[in-house]
Structure 1
Amino acid sequence: MSKVISRDGTPLAYERTGEGEPLILVGGAFSTGTAEGPLAGLLAPRFSVVTYDRRGRGDSGDTTPYAVAREVEDLAALVDEVGGRALLYGMSSGGALVLRAAAAGLNVPRVAVYEPPFTVLEETRAEKASYTQRLNELLGEGHRGEAVELFLSVVGMPHEFIAQMKQAPVWRSFEALAPTLAYDDAVMGDGTVPAERLAAVAQPVLVVSGGASPAVMRDAAVRTAEAAPDGHHRSLPRQTHDVDPRELAPVLAEFFTTA
């Protein structure tokens, strides 16, 4: 992997494959750059695809205290590294980060996101605030496993599945990445669709959702697209939040190559 240094001195590990216009893929919670590898492979014939470990993950470094603005600077460093201009795609909370980067004025001519986990329900703000407080308490006390359990329960995983996962080797990797749950939580703001921020995104935005995802996620995707001046929504039949990259890749390629 190659490395680029962000503005605050944090080294970021990245890989680049393929030929064409640069396209940076941004993962969500618990993901390192390898999570987007299958999608990168499908897009590489048409783009120069960059996958990277967000700060605090994989082979990238970390610098405290965390701030969302530092992750936007990370993306700016990657954009500069690949030539000063790049397309952006973000998965889940990585999509929320991509939208923040676009609103901040990075030279990204088009951006696409898949199901950024916003909500259209204003009454959930209090629940989100409670989750944020408890998550940071657990991480501050060093209870990484409990922080992971909290996150998984909040996103809807049944307790019996969580109990099974705790016995699997993957649980250690989850605990290692647990501090970054606070990063993703910060990126999400109060959890509602950030209409005011999206109004500042001038470039075309594609928001993709799964046709088989819960209604609250589908509604949030539609509302996110509507809040951007040049926003577009696309639904993928039979797909959920765990989207098949073979279904997603053609949609992204079409959007990113549209004049």
Structure 2
Amino acid sequence: MNHPDRSLANGYAKEEQMEHVTSADGTTIAYDRVGSGSPVILVGGALCDRNSHGPLAEALADEYDVITYDRRGRGDSGDTTPYDVQREVEDIAALLTATGGTTAIYGHSSGAALAAIAAVTLPFSQVVLHEPPYGPDDADTSDDGRQVIEALRDGRNQDAVEQFLLMTGLPKEIAQQVAATPGLADVAPTLPYDFAVMGHALDHGGTPVALLRRVTADTLVLAGTATAPFMIDAAHRITEILPNATYADLPGQQHAVPPEALAPVLKDFLRR
């Protein structure tokens, strides 16, 4: 679903910038805000916290009021059981209220799938979906997912991260190295949240067709030309499904895109 950004462990965001909102169920959601202009909320994918999009936020801050946040269960945000995808939508709704105005939303990987879910009911001015990892209709990753859940149940968080990274297509040696990154094991218990997001509202196969047809905001779908082929296929597929969507390539880019390559594309779209 998502390759974790190493900035999660490096602590990119400055502590003094952190603010909080309270979600509908009473959960505290931590966020950073940088820049000025029209607001845009950045939604991270699996194993990422608000620091993961810190460099992108800085790259957008000269034109936009950028909000990065810790999804529930991560970083400085709280959590409330039982988990439900709708609670994550309520978290975004609380951030939307905090911006005090019309807001765009950008989501990456499983964060893009969450952004799409939120965009069905929340009034975003524009939506950017960057490689939501919707699988082909004949894909079956249930066994891999069960191995992740079993590792978490046994308290083997690092093994759970490694198994998840293998699911994304990383070679075993690299998956083992990345799984050992300080901080990732602490976020591992939220992996089932991303599984739930990706499985939300599926009406057939691996793509929530009925849900996507309800996203009426102006939408940009992005995919790198060097990313996993199934993600490119998914991006083209959902562009056809979404009512008001355009597609854009990110030439030479893989799943994780440096801000200097991504920010200009986002700015061009958000200026519309």
Fold shared per TM-score above 0.5: yes
Matched, 1:212 2:226: yes
Match of 2:197 among 170, 174, 187: 187
Alignment of structure 1 residues 215-254 onto 2, 5 Å? 215-254=229-268
Matched, 1:45 2:51: no
Post-superposition Cα deviations, 1:167-206, rounded to whole Å, max 9, x if no partner, equal x5x1x41110001111111111167122111000111111
Alignment of structure 1 residues 159-174 onto 2, 5 Å? 159-165=172-178, 168=180, 170=181, 172-174=182-184
Contact 2:145 2:164 in 1 (8 A): no
Matched, 1:59 2:72: no
Cα separation, 1, equivalents of 2:86 and 2:143: 23
Which amino acid in structure 1 is aligned with residue 82 of structure 2?
P
Alignment of structure 1 residues 1-259 onto 2, 5 Å? 1-103=18-120, 105-119=121-135, 121-124=136-139, 127-165=140-178, 168=180, 170=181, 172-189=182-199, 192-258=206-272
Residue 129 of structure 1: CA displacement? 2.6
Cα separation, 1, equivalents of 2:101 and 2:62: 21
TM-score (normalised: structure 2): 0.88
Residue 137 of structure 1: CA displacement? 2.7
Cα separation, 2, equivalents of 1:34 and 1:233: 27
Post-superposition Cα deviations, 1:215-238, rounded to whole Å, max 9, x if no partner, equal 211111111111100011100111
Cα separation, 2, equivalents of 1:207 and 1:23: 16
Number of residue pairs matched? 251
Q: Secondary structure at the match of 1:206?
A: strand
Residue 84 of structure 1: CA displacement? 4.7
TM-score (normalised: structure 1): 0.92
Structure 1 equivalent of residue 4 of structure 2: none
Unaligned runs of 5+ in 2: 1-17
Residue 131 of structure 1: CA displacement? 2.9
Cα separation, 1, equivalents of 2:100 and 2:177: 45
Cα separation, 2, equivalents of 1:243 and 1:156: 17
Cα separation, 2, equivalents of 1:187 and 1:179: 14
Post-superposition Cα deviations, 1:27-74, rounded to whole Å, max 9, x if no partner, equal 111111111011111111111110111111111111111111000000
RMSD: 1.5
